[in-house]
Amino acid sequence: MDPEPMPVIAWVESPLQLVGVAEWAAAHRRRVPIAGRLTPHMAETSDELVARGALFGRREPYWGIPWNLLARHGHWLIGDGFSGQFRLAVAVLRPRRITFLDDGANALAFADAVTDARPFARPGVDERARSRVVVPFARERLLRCARAGGIDFFTAFEFGASRVGELADRGIAVRRHAFEWTRRTARAFITTTHGRILLGSARPGDGLMPLAEYLDWVRREAADAPLTYLPHRRETDEQLRMVAAIPGVVLSRPALPVEMLLAGAIERLEILTLPSSTTTTLPLVLRGSRSAIRTETAARVAVDGGAA
């Protein structure tokens, strides 16, 4: 008889991470309770996933570290391995098993951090001294857990043979998914702009791109033909007001991850985007459709904007 699986808990903080939990639960046929951080669109995404049949157990919203919940569960599903709160929790509580879900493209950076290919820090972030202090303790705990076969990744991203090999050398397995459950349970989606969609970006608010250049890009695309604008969950209200004022833009605010929305597309989509994790996730979500994704680099946007 197979041993009883250890109790599992998902500790997540973004809608995409919630989708990852739904995919893991479906793949393993296990009901998973959720400790969800109170960030934008988490409640709406969680409710919609449950309505579609996600195998979620009790869902509890949290700020900070859910110490009691984590202590009662030996297996953690974690959305953000770079989180300072996660590092502290793993160093203190020492779970027996950890599965890392996707936190956008940071899944690749985190895998490299575990194998010493890059620093154990979120890319592009200058961490506080207090966060750095706990890094050696967290990393040692992760490596010790890995040597016991207790660490794995559940991801939609292609890690590549070299990275997978480096992880395997440390006892860490990688299992991929292609949003099978998300596609199977998708609801119908159709735009009012003949399938033309522009995915919003938080780059201007993050200081990675001048707002004027970003708005020029949206303006040029909308001048070609009307488009539906799907905001990024971290876009500022000011940026969205400016976008909504552009002729040809239909602003839609569904409060769900684009992966969940577009999996149910019933028309051919033309999707316009800047570089982001969606260039990996959406081809999987739209597999088998006639949809096309056009990724515009920030450099190209700047050049075109200067020439306009």
- Residue 67: what pLDDT? 96
The reported pLDDT for the residue numbered 39 is 85
Task: Report pLDDT for 305.
Answer: 42
Q: How far is CA 137 from CA 78, 131, 132, 140, in A?
A: 18, 11, 10, 5
Whether the pLDDT of residue 1 is over 70: the answer is: no
Model-level pTM? Answer: 0.91
Whole-angstrom CA distances from 213 to 56, 216, 277, 300 are: 42, 5, 21, 10
Q: Are residues 199 and 251 in the same domain?
A: yes
Q: Are residues 23 and 161 in the same domain?
A: yes
Residues 92-108: tens digit of each pLDDT? 999 999 999 998 888 99
Average pLDDT, integer, range 11-40: 95
Of 135, 156, 183, the one marking the end of a domain is 183
Q: Is 131 inside any structural domain?
A: yes
What pLDDT shows up at residue 20?
97
Asked whether residue 101 is assigned to any structural domain, the reply reads yes
DSSP the chain: -PPPPPPEEEEE-SHHHHHHHHHHHHHHT--EEEEEE--TTHHHHHHHHHHTT--EEEEEEESS--HHHHHT-SEEEES-TT-HHHHHHHHHH--SEEEE--BTBHHHHHHHHHTTSS-SS-TT----HHHHHTHHHHHHHHHHHHHTT-EEEEESS---HHHHHHHHHTT-EEEE--SHHHHHTPPPB--SSTTEEEE---TTTTTSS-HHHHHHHHHHHHHHS-EEEE--TT--HHHHHHHHTSTTEEE----S-HHHHHTTB-S--EEEE-SSTHHHHHHHHTTTS--EEEEPPHHHHHHHHHH-
Q: What is the model's pLDDT at position 2?
A: 42
Q: What is the pLDDT of residue 134?
A: 87
How does pLDDT run across 251-278, given as a tens digit for each residue? Answer: 999 889 999 999 999 899 999 999 888 9
Tell me the per-residue pLDDT of 137-178, one tens digit each, with 9 for 90 and over.
998 999 999 999 999 999 999 999 999 999 999 999 999 999
- For residue 303, being part of any structural domain is answered with yes
Given a cut of 80, is residue 4 above it in pLDDT?
no
Q: Can you tell me the mean pLDDT for 44-68?
A: 95
Q: Which residues fall within 8 angstroms of residue 193, CB to CB, at 6 or more apart?
A: 225, 226, 227, 228, 250
Using pLDDT thresholds of 50, 70 and 90, give the confidence band for residue 208: confident
pLDDT higher than 50, residue 74: yes
Rounded average pLDDT over 72-79: 96
Over residues 225-229, mean pLDDT:
97
pLDDT of residue 298: 56
Task: Specify the number of domains making up the chain.
Answer: 2
pLDDT-derived band at 297 (thresholds 50, 70, 90) equals confident
Q: Are residues 89 and 22 in the same domain?
A: yes
**Residue corresponding to tokens 């985190």:** 110
Whether residue 1 lies inside any domain: the answer is: no
Q: Is residue 154 located within the same domain as residue 199?
A: no
The CATH number given to whatever domain includes residue 243 is: 3.40.50
The answer to whether residues 69 and 172 belong to one domain is yes
pLDDT-derived band at 308, boundaries 50, 70, 90: very low
Asked if 230 and 273 touch (Cβ cutoff 8 Å), the reply is no
Which candidate, 62, 60, 111, places its Cα nearest to that of 82? Answer: 111
199 and 231 in a single domain? The answer is: yes
Confidence of residue 120 (pLDDT cuts 50, 70, 90): confident
148 occurs within a structural domain: yes
Q: d(Cα 101, Cα 109) in Å, to the nearest integer?
A: 13
Domain assignment present for residue 299? The answer is: yes
Domain holding 263, by residue range, is 186-307
Mean pLDDT check: name the lowest of 120-134, 200-214, 266-280.
120-134
Model confidence band, residue 301 (pLDDT cutoffs 50, 70, 90)? low
Indicate if 122 and 20 belong to the same structural domain.
yes
Based on the fold, state whether residues 47 and 153 are members of the same structural domain: yes
Q: What is the pLDDT of residue 129?
A: 60
Q: What percent of the chain has pLDDT over 90?
A: 77
Which strand ranges, in their side-by-side order, compose the sheet holding 292-295?
Answer: 249-251, 227-230, 196-199, 270-273, 292-295
Answer whether residue 122 shows pLDDT above 90.
Answer: no
Q: What average pLDDT does range 121-137 have in this prediction?
A: 76
CA distance 150 to 95: 9
Shared domain check, 196 and 115: no
Structural domain includes residue 153: yes
Same domain, 173 and 69: yes
Domain boundary among 162, 183, 204: 183
Q: Same domain, yes or no, for 126 and 258?
A: no
Nearest residue to 54 (alpha-carbon basis) of 78, 76, 31, 77: 31
Residues 111, 225 within the same domain: no
Domain stops at, among 156, 183, 210: 183
pLDDT value for 255: 87
- Angle (CA) 218-296-293 rounded to 5° is 95
Residue 100 maps to a domain: yes
